[in-house]
Structure 1
Amino acid sequence: MSFHFSALALLALTLTVLLAASEASKVARLHRIAIHRSANFKRSQKAVVAERDLVQTKYGQNKTQSLSQKANGYPVEPLSNFDNYQYYGNISIGTPPQYFMVQFDTGSSNLWIPSTSCTSAGCADHQTYNQTASSSYQANGTYFSITYGTGSVSGYLAVDSVSVGGLTVASQKFGQVYTEIGTNFVDALFDGILGMGFPALAADGVVPVFQNMINQGLVANPVFSFYLRDNGSTVNYGGELILGGSDPSLYRGGLTYVPVSQPAYWQFITDSIKIGSTVVSVGDAAIADTGTSLIIAPQADFDTIAAIFSADSNGVFYCTSTKSMPDLVINIQAVEFRIPASYYVERDGSECQLLIQSINQNFWIMGDVFLGRFYTEFDVGNQRLGFAPVNGAFSLSQIGLWKILALVMAFMAGLWW
């Protein structure tokens, strides 16, 4: 009996090791980019209102133009110097590589960085691209200009190799910034922006970086995913951008998939959105946007939410605690995604502020108040999004297969004694 039990246990452990090895092999094929946030990141009423207004600039101007007619040829993409809530990580451009910190933004589709030819104050404080120092540089010369809420940048398109997470895209077209007007860019912790939206959102017919990765066969699957750790509050590790798939050890349960309803932004349709038991919206469109930290609602929906909390137009209201406040419940494909009030309400003494705001648009924008709670897979090939609750566990790649094997061997040794 003892021998029979030991044999069955050995078989079960062998199957466990094989399954773990298979999963570890899949995870090993993923390409990871650590993403960071400002060490000084702290929400305030002023910062929330400023970010809301910047999002209005980004989506408001895009909304009034067709996808092929952005401001001066490039989509509007606001920056903020309010402690830089955006997620950013490292890439390199050129041969030999020149390194830059860029914001990974699913709400835009173009890559741009400052040029050594830029003489503006903001460029002086950031890494700049030197085309003469790269043997793989190719001239393009098409003029571009990007408009911001309080300024603009302009320059010319260039072509060079771009490396992200160990993957090198050949002949990637991107923008070199030559001139900056305004102070937005001066205090930003990143050098430029790498857009991860669909090609329809890109200006001047530029193929986005990730689409080129797919076209050049650099990723195993036409998928990228974001894991935003602890709602982005960790100073040295804000999470990961994963290219080529998803890491199941970073989320709980299976992914809930929803089709992209308009492949420009990462837009999808929600079943309903509630505050507690109060239905706020039914069948509204929403956009998954890593370029903002807030949740943005249509005006009528925001008014309904504000009335629940007796909040003013900026979402500010009197409070003593968030513990008794209801969850925000977003229903997607008949699955409820719950966000506790401690995540969508910011408390400062006796005042609270909703991190749900409103701008002049008829869709929702899901920033990291949502994305920080739910692992998000951006499936380019199938034009769909996948969501699942994040867990705080380390990934298999961080645990290491050798540790799994060591535990199994220790257990097996115990069976024979």
Structure 2
Amino acid sequence: MSFFSVLAAVSSLTATAVATSQIVPVTEDSGFWFGNFTVGNSTNLSLLVDTGSGDIIINPGLYKAGSNAENLHENFDNSYGTTQSNGGGTIEIKGPLYSDIVSIGKLSAKQHIGAANNQTGIPHDGIVGFGPSSTEFPGPNAMAFVETLCRDGDLSECRFGLALNSNKTGSLILGEVEPSLYKNNLSLVPSSESWTVNADIYVDGSISNSDTSVVMDSGTATIVGPIDQVSAIFNSTGIQGVRSGGSLFGYFPCDKPPTLGIGLPSQSDAAAAAKKHSPLLSTTTTLFNISSDQWAIANNGHNNCTALLSGQDFGESIWIFGQAFYTGLYVDHNMKDSVMGFASLDSP
């Protein structure tokens, strides 16, 4: 899911604990990925793992304060976009703020917690943001869970990875890179704090848009781009575009999905990295195509399917690549060096 506004919360890294790493399971449901967390005295919470936001919000009635909980006597009011399984939708969530212990596996951190007091529309039990400096909660001390783990020195390396399989199972890798999960080398790309990269968009093997800002958002189920650019892709591939409100949706013959992918790094970024001889960035472009079995988000019968690609205008010419892109890939999020790494899974 994506925030409509971002309040930066930048912190320095100070080691105060024994650093570690771990791999925990995640599962997919309706286009979103979920991990098992404990928040205060609320155990076995199935929270949506979202790289497009930075806050932790628990659905109404599920948050139970732990012994270390603090009532912050403030309220939050968060707005999210791309909240539905078709890539559309917006939600506004409100409620009181607390500070409490959040745990996954053997890792724990004291976090701001939003206890929603309205129906959120977020599936399962709530959401945990993995977007560093993307918190929308008020106050100077709010930061993403993984950001707190880095600040406190709890992670061996200030990074996390997602390895999401096509069979609805996957792994969240915290504090390390796990090469046994992927093929070849990671394609290394510079990124911003909101996990935005510069990429070339390919349609049927040819570049459609060069040097495009792409937000890598595990909390969005589909692929969303600017309406004019998506409309051009629909026209070139024979997809029927239909406007609905502020969105453009597409319909195609189920047995003839087009091929959409991105080149990482972009050709221009790869050339620049080659000139700089940077060990942190790749000097050749790798094309990552979305699997054909991800293209249909709904089968409407009579060989007509709803496409995973849709158009929305966010006020900027940006794309959002969500779960449909992540599936079958290992995606490393290196917070220390502001670099993302991409590779095909060894067993997708």
Same fold (TM over 0.5): yes
The structure number with the bigger radius of gyration is: 1
- What's the offset of the Cα at 1:250? 1.1
Provide, for residues 15-70 of structure 1, a one-character-per-residue CA deviation record: whole Å limited to 9, x for no partner: xxxxxxxxxxxxxx5312211233xxxxxxxxxxxxxxxxxxxxxxxxxxxxxxxx
- What's the offset of the Cα at 1:224? 0.3
Match of 2:35 among 81, 85, 89: 89
Structure 2 counterpart of 1:34 = 25
Alpha carbons of structure 1 residues 366 and 113: separation in structure 2 relative to 1, 3 Å: same
In 1, distance between residues paired with 2:90 and 2:232?
Answer: 31
In 2, distance between residues paired with 1:151 and 1:201?
Answer: 16
Contact 1:297 1:359 in 2 (8 A): yes
Structure 2 counterpart of 1:161 = 101
Match of 1:321 among 243, 250, 255: 255
Structure 2 counterpart of 1:350 = 303
- What's the offset of the Cα at 1:340? 4.2
Greater RCO, CA 8 A, separation 6+: 2
The one-letter code of the counterpart of 1:379 is N
Alpha carbons of structure 1 residues 200 and 152: separation in structure 2 relative to 1, 3 Å: closer
In 2, distance between residues paired with 1:158 and 1:307?
Answer: 49
The one-letter code of the counterpart of 1:105 is D
Structure 2 counterpart of 1:107 = 52
- What's the offset of the Cα at 1:147? 4.1
- What's the offset of the Cα at 1:289? 0.4
Match of 1:268 among 185, 197, 201: 197
The one-letter code of the counterpart of 1:92 is T
- What's the offset of the Cα at 1:242? 1.1
- What's the offset of the Cα at 1:336? 1.6
Provide, for residues 145-203 of structure 1, a one-character-per-residue CA deviation record: whole Å limited to 9, x for no partner: 2346576432221112211121111x3222122x215x735xx3x21111010214443
Structure 1 counterpart of 2:286 = 335
In 1, distance between residues paired with 2:91 and 2:225?
Answer: 26
Alpha carbons of structure 1 residues 150 and 356: separation in structure 2 relative to 1, 3 Å: closer
Structure 1 counterpart of 2:17 = none
Q: How large is the Cα RMSD of the aligned pairs?
A: 2.3
The one-letter code of the counterpart of 2:228 is A
Secondary structure of the structure 2 residue equivalent to 1:284: strand
Count how many residue pairs are aligned between Structure 1 and Structure 2: 289
In 2, distance between residues paired with 1:321 and 1:200?
Answer: 40
Alpha carbons of structure 1 residues 375 and 144: separation in structure 2 relative to 1, 3 Å: same
- What's the offset of the Cα at 1:355? 1.1
Provide, for residues 52-101 of structure 1, a one-character-per-residue CA deviation record: whole Å limited to 9, x for no partner: xxxxxxxxxxxxxxxxxxxxxxxxxxxxxxxx43211111123x663422
Identity %: 24
Structure 1 counterpart of 2:74 = 142
Higher strand proportion (structure 1 or 2): 2
- What's the offset of the Cα at 1:277? 4.1
Higher helix proportion (structure 1 or 2): 1
The one-letter code of the counterpart of 2:172 is L
In 2, distance between residues paired with 1:366 and 1:385?
Answer: 14
- Which runs of 5 or more residues in structure 2 are unaligned? 1-19, 81-88, 243-248, 266-284
Secondary structure of the structure 2 residue equivalent to 1:283: strand
With normalisation by structure 2, the TM-score equals 0.76
In 2, distance between residues paired with 1:102 and 1:277?
Answer: 36
Are positions 1:246 and 2:177 aligned together? yes
- What's the offset of the Cα at 1:357? 1.1
Structure 2 counterpart of 1:292 = 220
Match of 2:241 among 280, 289, 312: 312
